[in-house]
Every structure is written in C-alpha cells, then in structure tokens.
Amino acid sequence: MDIGAILIAGPTASGKSALAIRLAERLGGTVVNADSMQVYRDLRIITARPSAAEEATVPHCLFGTVDAAVHYSVARWQADVRPVLQDLKAQGRIPIITGGTGLYFRALTEGLSDIPKVPDDVRAAVWKSAEGRRPEELHAELAACDPETAARLRPTDPQRIIRALEVFRATGVPLARFQDKRDGALLSGAFAAFFLAPDRDILRARIDARFDGMVASGAIEEVETLMKRGLDPALPAMRAHGVPWIIRALRGDIAMEEAIEGGKADTRRYAKRQHTWFRHQAPDFEWIKPDEAEARILTVLNAAI
C-alpha cells in the first residue's frame, strides 16, 4: 500500500512545522499549509508561519498567499489545495500537510458540505449590518432566525456566526442542514494521519515562550502595520491570536504587558479546543508525542511499502 499523503495536525506550538520540514527533507516531499491563519501574508510573525529561511529549505505551498482583507474560508482553501495536490502527485512528490485547523483536514479526508454560493450583494449587506456589533448580539440575531445553527456555534465566534447569517439570508435554509451533507474527500488514496500531543504543561510553557519570542522578533510592529490598513475587525486575519490584544495596546486602551498576557491566554485556550476537536472529530489521526513523532511516522511509512 502506497501512502499518498502525510497529515500532521496538532495544537499550536506543538512543533508541527519543524517536523514537517524534517520529513520533507528526508522524503523529498512538499510542505502544504493547513492552518487558517498562516495563509495570510500580512502575518508571518504573529502566526508563527515558517520563516523565509525555513521555506527555502524545502518546497512550501499555501503559506502567506492571501491578503488580510480577504475573508478566506475552508471552501476557498479546498479549491486552492486541490490543484496543489494534483501537481504534487504528477511530480511524484509526497505532500506533507500540516496545520492546526480541523476543518481543513476534514475537507481532505471527508469533503465539505455542499453550501450554495452566497451572492455578493447578500454577503455585503450582512457584513455591513454586522459592522461594529458585538458577537453576542450577532449570535442572538442568528438564534432568532436559525436556532438550529446558532446552537452549534459559540456566541464569541463572529466569523462563523456571520457565515451562518449569510447562508440563511441567501437561501432561507439553516446552515446546519447543509453541513450535514458532504461532497467527496480530496484524498482518494491511502494517507497517514497524526496528531502531535505534547504534555499539557509542556505545551503551555512552549506557547508562552513562543509568544515572547514573536514579540521580540517584531510581532508588535507587524500588527501595527496591519492596524494601519483600517480593515474590518471582524475579518479572520484581524482576529488571529494576539492581534486584537496588541491593537488595543497600540491604541492606548491597555498596557502592552496586558496585551501580551491576553494573547498568551487566548492561544492556550485555542490549543485546548484543538485537542478537543481532534479527539472527537478526527478518529483517523494517531496521537503521538512530538519527540517520538518522526520515528513513528517513518515506521508507518516503511510498513506501508
């Protein structure tokens, strides 16, 4: 049995990118991004995207390809990654797909819901109506017209709430109904899937240390440049972990020390949600310790030959 792709998921700061690069060097592979924030070219530092030097060591795809003003989605990523996988197969290069966004991996292994395209005028109207409103208020609006989908979403998740409002305004059908029906998966052949699972205390320390390192490497200046663009704060790139906190500090609303601690806390909470999502939603992923991952993955690949 030939393995056509290697999937490496895990919480933020678990060492996914470094592992993917080592495997790509060893196997002649290409690292493919499956992280919803590392697609944005404006945010290399604050999203811990591979550095230019790291990207130069092995081929990388779909990192930093999207402008922060774009409302990127899993459907758009699916459309972008499909030709990448086709090209890599034609070249005989194994894709090493890495990231922490569960829905991206679901698009690979299970496919996506067949949600109708929302007309541009409807999308623009929903976004204009949402501008400046609190996520909880938007969630209440969604609950009034689409309680089925609202029950599945956190009241603090404006991106998905607005998406659900778009779909309902365009179709009159709850988004949840479409989500229960999926089209074909992108990976038609065999694949090996792994979830890096560090000890929780170790991961917490790594998250904090990495955030401090990002600040020392220019994350604040990077966010300041983004802030000066005056983009809608509801855009995904504007909600990357640490970005809203640092913007508040840059505007003088809070101290930068508080912003840094807030960014760390948000990142730790996100890592916990990643653990939960993959444990319950991705049964095909083998959980492994980061320091055992490379040897284990190579063992699985050798056994499949």
pTM, two decimals, is: 0.81
Residues 151 and 249 in one domain: no
Same domain, 189 and 153: no
Q: Do 214 and 272 belong to one domain?
A: yes
Name the domain count of the chain.
2
| Co-location of 77 and 193 in the same domain | yes
Give phi and psi for 143, each to the nearest 5: -60, -30
Q: Does 295 lie in the same domain as 200?
A: yes
Shortest CA distance to 271 belongs to which of 195, 193, 161, 162?
195
Asked whether residue 286 falls in the same domain as residue 220, the answer is yes
Look up the CATH number of the domain holding residue 47.
3.40.50.300
Give the CATH number of the domain where residue 135 resides. 1.10.20.140
Residues 6 or more apart whose CB falls under 8 angstroms from that of 36 comprise 72, 74, 77, 99, 101, 103, 104, 236
224 and 197 in a single domain? The answer is yes
On whether the CB atoms of residues 166 and 174 are closer than 8 A, the answer is no
The residues pairing with 6 across neighbouring beta strands, listed in sequence order, are 96, 192
Residue 34 and residue 87 in one domain: yes
Q: Is the same domain home to 80 and 140?
A: no
d(CA 229, CA 115): 31
On whether both 260 and 169 belong to a single domain, the answer is no
Task: Please list the pLDDT of the chain residue by residue as tens digits (305 residues).
Answer: 478 999 999 999 999 999 999 999 999 999 999 999 999 999 999 999 999 999 999 999 999 999 999 999 998 999 999 999 999 999 999 999 999 999 999 999 988 776 778 888 998 899 889 888 999 999 999 999 999 999 988 898 888 899 899 999 999 988 888 766 656 678 867 899 999 999 999 999 999 999 999 999 999 999 999 999 999 998 999 999 999 999 999 999 999 999 999 999 999 999 999 999 999 889 889 999 999 999 999 999 998 87
43 and 92: one domain? yes
Residue span of the structural domain in which 245 resides: 5-112+183-304
Would you tell me how many other CB atoms lie within 10 Å of the CB of residue 144? Answer: 9
Mark whether 94 and 210 lie in a shared domain. Answer: yes
